[in-house]
Amino acid sequence: MAAVADILENIDSLPALPTSVMRITAMLSDGTSDLGEIENVARNDEALSMAIMRYGNSALYGRSGKVFNLRESIVRLGGKALLKIVLEQKVAKLFDGAGEAYGLQRGDLWRGAVGGAIAAEEIAKKHRFQEPDLCFLCAMLRDVGKLAMESHFGAEYMTQVFSHLEPGLTFMECEQSAFGTEHAEVGAELALRWGLPERIADAIRYHHEPPAEDPGHDRLFDIVHAADIICLWAGLAIGSDGLQYKLAPHVRKDLGLDRKEAEAEITTTWGRLRELEEMMGTSPAREARA
Amino acid sequence: MGSPAATYTGTEVGGKIVVGVADLAVTSDPSTTLVTYALGSCIGVTLYDPVAKVAGMLHFMLPNSKLNADKAKAMPAMFADTGVPMLFKAAYDLGAEKRRLIVCAVGGAEVLADDGHFKIGSRNRTFLRKIFWKNNILLSGDDTGGSISRTLSLVTADGTVVVRHKGKEHVLWPQ
């Protein structure tokens, strides 16, 4: 059995959370966005600049016949859209190549991260939750613990363990039983070590099992949890864990989530993700791992 | 096929044709494999005509296109009631005949403790069976239900259907 501290001992071998994401996280947490600072981040990052210009010139933001440069694209898109673009780009790098231990194909973790972010934002807006951008961020980072688990235990060993999961248990119970901890807990601790605010760490910690009552209940956690289930139904980032998760009954009730609304969220999430992938030129086809 | 758009024809990756979510592919190339990854509550449908050597695969997400007519128009493979007819028509266009088709279905899993509130996977299964029943199509292979994810492959040379789950494979057809 491994303690979370042991797993995070080799934190230096994990990809660091980029400074840009740290700054953006702070902006989202305190509700500010600084166009000048985002421009500074983008100017030093060619891939990010290209992405911002692709967005700025895409049909999603209206056609004008004019080609917008980086500065014009930044102004045109506005702070919140830019924050999301930076996150999508940077988290893609963070998750790049990871997920084999969880039976995921290359790129699946990123698709799951972005799909969850989109779903969380949609649910937050629909329910007039005041912090849709924070929901977006937390849902995007919710599975970051899988990186640390994979790095510590190794894909080969974890694959072997996961091939003997008990079907009736939740995946969290299976991980807990096999490793003494699970990816949500590890992800939360990793977030704290990265210096992220405690509430974001808790959104990661509770993304599978959000507290139903005070102390501990937070609608942010409920929304991130619901977004995670929507992603499963949308076929995003399903690995060896399959569908061995439960939707918390209080989340279903509080969000008034019924089948019809769930199906609508599934199609919306999937559609927005597909638009994003088409715009960014990223193929949904995954390369099978050997 | 109804649409030549790449999104509905699968994507060639490493000698295989990868069928994504809400996607379908049909081919008469006998030297490839159709594959779709990580079927959860979604269902993968395969068909194969052993005479015409036509193979097809659909990965649909939800049962009924009435949910979102715009999405169904743009992405018919997302729904069973629009994706299944499109799959069969595409196969017929390449010379397949209904009476010879070997049809299999895989996926349709459910989250734990759903308690009948959503039943996304089981509704997919039920809806698909109704479509097949109405059209006199019998399933030659059926690996659906549970809470697991499955990867589905169809070898176009001989119609072998393989289901992979947690690194273990079994042949669904021929049995």
Q: Is the pLDDT of residue A290 over 50?
A: no
Residue A236 vs residue A93, higher pLDDT: A236
Q: Which residues pair with B45 in a beta bridge?
A: B58, B105
The sign of the dihedral angle between the CA atoms of A194, A200, A201, A205 is negative
B-interface mutation test, from A166, A173, A263, most B Cβ less than 10 A away: A263
Interface contact flag, B147 A242, Cβ < 8 Å: yes
| CB neighbour burial string for A217-251, b if at least 16 within 10 angstroms, e if fewer | ebbbbbbbbbbbbbbbbbbbbbbbbbbbbbbbeeb
Q: Which fold has domain A4-16+98-280?
A: Hypothetical protein af1432 (1.10.3210)
Q: What confidence tens digit (pLDDT) does each residue in A105-145 have? A: 888 998 999 999 999 999 999 999 999 989 998 999 999 99
Interchain contact A258–B (C-beta under 8 A): yes
Residues A104, A109, A273, B90, Cα dihedral to 10°: -10
Interchain contact B114–A (C-beta under 8 A): yes
Who among B16, B118, B167 is closest to A163 (CB)? B167
In whole angstroms, give the CA distance from residue A204 to residue A95: 16
In whole angstroms, give the CA distance from residue A80 to residue A30: 13
Residue B65: Cβ-neighbour burial (10 angstroms; 0-12, 13-18, 19+): buried
Interface contact flag, B40 A235, Cβ < 8 Å: yes
Question: What ranges do the domains of chain A cover?
Answer: 4-16+98-280
First to last CA, chain B: 30
pLDDT bucket at A25, cuts 50 / 70 / 90: low
B-chain CB neighbours of A245 within 8 Å are 111-112
| Residue pair A92/A276 in contact by the 8 Å Cβ criterion | no
Q: Is the pLDDT of residue A2 over 70?
A: no
Who among B16, B61, B147 is closest to A244 (CB)? B147
Interface of B with A in 155-174 (CB under 8 A): 166-168
The reported pLDDT for the residue numbered A288 is: 44
The reported pLDDT for the residue numbered A282 is: 66
Interchain contact B41–A (C-beta under 8 A): yes
A-chain CB neighbours of B71 within 8 Å are 267, 271
Query: Minimal Cα–Cα distance from B118 to chain A, Å?
Result: 5
Q: Is B78 left (phi over 0), alpha (psi -120 to 50) or beta?
A: alpha
| Residue pair A171/A245 in contact by the 8 Å Cβ criterion | yes
Q: What confidence tens digit (pLDDT) does each residue in B6-52 have? A: 334 677 777 899 999 999 999 999 999 999 999 999 999 999 999 99
A-chain CB neighbours of B110 within 8 Å are 243
Q: What confidence tens digit (pLDDT) does each residue in A137-163 have? A: 899 999 999 999 999 999 999 999 988
H-type alpha helices, A214-254 = 219-233, 249-254
Residue B87 vs residue A10, higher pLDDT: B87
The reported pLDDT for the residue numbered A33 is: 66
Who among B21, B113, B166 is closest to A162 (CB)? B166
**Among B121, B106, B129, residue whose Cα is nearest residue B36:** B106
Write down the catalytic residue from B17, B34, B35, B42. Answer: B42
Respond yes or no: is residue B104 known to be catalytic.
no
Q: What confidence tens digit (pLDDT) does each residue in A222-274 have? A: 999 999 999 999 999 899 999 999 999 999 999 999 999 999 999 999 988 88
**Among B58, B24, B33, residue whose Cα is nearest residue B131:** B58
Interface contact flag, A232 B111, Cβ < 8 Å: yes
Interchain contact B67–A (C-beta under 8 A): yes
pLDDT bucket at A96, cuts 50 / 70 / 90: confident
Can you tell me the ipTM of this complex? Answer: 0.89
Interchain contact B35–A (C-beta under 8 A): yes
Written as one letter, the residue type at B171 is: V
Structural domains of chain B, with CATH: 6-173 (3.30.1330.200)
Interface contact flag, B38 A239, Cβ < 8 Å: yes
Omega of the bond prior to A132 within 30 degrees of 0, cis?
no
In whole angstroms, give the CA distance from residue A212 to residue B148: 27
Question: What are the distances in angstroms from CA A74 to CA A52, A57, A88, B84?
Answer: 7, 11, 16, 43
Omega of the bond prior to A167 within 30 degrees of 0, cis?
no
Q: What confidence tens digit (pLDDT) does each residue in A73-83 have? A: 888 887 777 77
Interface contact flag, A235 B110, Cβ < 8 Å: no
In whole angstroms, give the CA distance from residue A135 to residue A119: 9
